Amino acid sequence: MIIARVVGSAVSTIKVDRLRGAKLLVLRQATPGDEVFGDHFVAVDAVGAGEGELVLVARGSAGRHTPLTEGQPVDAVIMAILDSLEIEGSISFRKS
Amino acid sequence: MIIARVVGSAVSTIKVDRLRGAKLLVLRQATPGDEVFGDHFVAVDAVGAGEGELVLVARGSAGRHTPLTEGQPVDAVIMAILDSLEIEGSISFRKS
Amino acid sequence: MIIARVVGSAVSTIKVDRLRGAKLLVLRQATPGDEVFGDHFVAVDAVGAGEGELVLVARGSAGRHTPLTEGQPVDAVIMAILDSLEIEGSISFRKS
Amino acid sequence: MIIARVVGSAVSTIKVDRLRGAKLLVLRQATPGDEVFGDHFVAVDAVGAGEGELVLVARGSAGRHTPLTEGQPVDAVIMAILDSLEIEGSISFRKS
Amino acid sequence: MIIARVVGSAVSTIKVDRLRGAKLLVLRQATPGDEVFGDHFVAVDAVGAGEGELVLVARGSAGRHTPLTEGQPVDAVIMAILDSLEIEGSISFRKS
């Protein structure tokens, strides 16, 4: 999984039917210290994540292994909201 | 999913039979501000996208989870046409 | 799918049994203007492609969704030979 | 599989139900000489790995082929702890 | 598939049970002229490859489509040993 921060959202009226109701969030990969980097990408939210939150994103077929996304044409899902990260004995991130 | 813009199309007479009728579009990845970058690639269109439109592309096995592409040897599908994108509280893209 | 040009072929006597008879071609990714770039890679040919042809390659599990490659340990298949590509209203490639 | 070193851990209260009990470790890719490089990422631990250990990580759908991770929305699993690596006839790493 | 050369091996006592007996080899990607490049990675050997040999590696779910690796948490398998490669009409590699 990658560490990523929710930075926005996407709106789409014309989409594959199976996606009705899916919440599409825009993210960027993040360091364990919550610094974003890399290209923006879109994932389906399976956990009620909000903008600014640091989350874990599972990509590939993993994206369809949640009750919300089963059978959907999605390749990325937010499957956890991070409370904290510990790197080499120090807390690098704690949710405020 | 990646944000991408449709920039062209591909024509192929000799292809795997299961692909008969598939619309093959050429795309490039795009920023939330609709600036394209990176290599051209090809995806099957599952939503009636047109040239110039900003879309979402699902890659990998997700590409086969639409009624149109089930069982096809495809690894990328356009599964949503974007109306708008909002990044950090501002609209970065709105379909014209 | 990626746009690629067939640049050679691979011969292997010792291989997983399920691959008997598979035609293994060497390719490089190509621009819509048929300029190759990037690393050489190998794909199974499902459409009778020949050296020098511009083709589409599906990667990942898509590689096993042709009658020829079902159940094989392959992660890339040539599933279409390109006749032409049109980018932003101009023909960038036409098969000669 | 990639060679990686466990460098930390992640805590998440709000996650997809199927992930309850999963141990989420933070890793970085490593050379055969145990030098880390590249972005931090997160994998589920299926073998009882500890911080500082050099391990193998399987990514993609492989991540769900352990008794612990079956059906979970995960795309990376630690499936082996390395005892040693031998490169071109020399031991490049031995677990201390 | 990628062209790769076997450069070493990995030993692991603590691993997912399904991996018992799997031969874990260390590889690097190679050019058609047998020059290695890129990061070291690990694949399961399904064909009896030896150190120094040029092979083909299938990645992703393809890694589980051999009799040896079915159901295993592996994302890379050596599925062919190369006898020769021909690039643009010339032999770039021949097994000695």
- Residue D9's pLDDT is 98
Q: Is the pLDDT of residue A86 over 90?
A: yes
What is the C-alpha separation between A18 and E41, in angstroms, rounded?
37
User: What is each CA distance from B15 to B20, C27, C47, C52, in whole angstroms?
Assistant: 8, 17, 6, 17
What is the C-alpha separation between C6 and C26, in angstroms, rounded?
6
Contact C73, E58 (CB under 8 A): yes
Q: Is the pLDDT of residue C23 over 90?
A: yes
What is the C-alpha separation between D39 and D22, in angstroms, rounded?
22
Residue E41, CA atoms < 13 Å, CB-side half-sphere: 27
- Say if the Cβ atoms of B74 and C80 lie within 8 Å: no
User: What is each CA distance from B28 to A28, A88, B12, E36, E89, in whole angstroms?
Assistant: 18, 39, 20, 30, 33
Determine contact: A34 vs chain D, CB below 8 A: no
Mean pLDDT computed over every residue of chain E: 96
Q: Is the pLDDT of residue A63 over 90?
A: no
Q: Supply the ipTM of this predicted assembly.
A: 0.96
Give the type of residue at E94: R
**Mean pLDDT, residues B55-77 taken together:** 93
**How many separate domains does chain E show?**
1
| E contact test, residue of D82, D93, D95 with most E CBs within 10 A | D82
Domain range for A28 is 2-94
A84 burial type by CB count under 10 A (0-12 exposed, 13-18 middle, 19+ buried): middle
**Which of A22-31 are b and which e, b meaning 16 or more Cβ less than 10 Å from the residue's Cβ?**
bebbbbbbbb
Determine contact: E21 vs chain D, CB below 8 A: no
C93 within domain boundaries: no
- Residue D59's pLDDT is 96
- CATH number at A9 reads 2.40.50.220
Each residue of E21-68: pLDDT tens digit? 899 999 999 999 999 999 999 999 999 999 999 999 999 999 899 998
Residue with tokens 């360091």: A31
- Say if the Cβ atoms of E60 and D58 lie within 8 Å: no
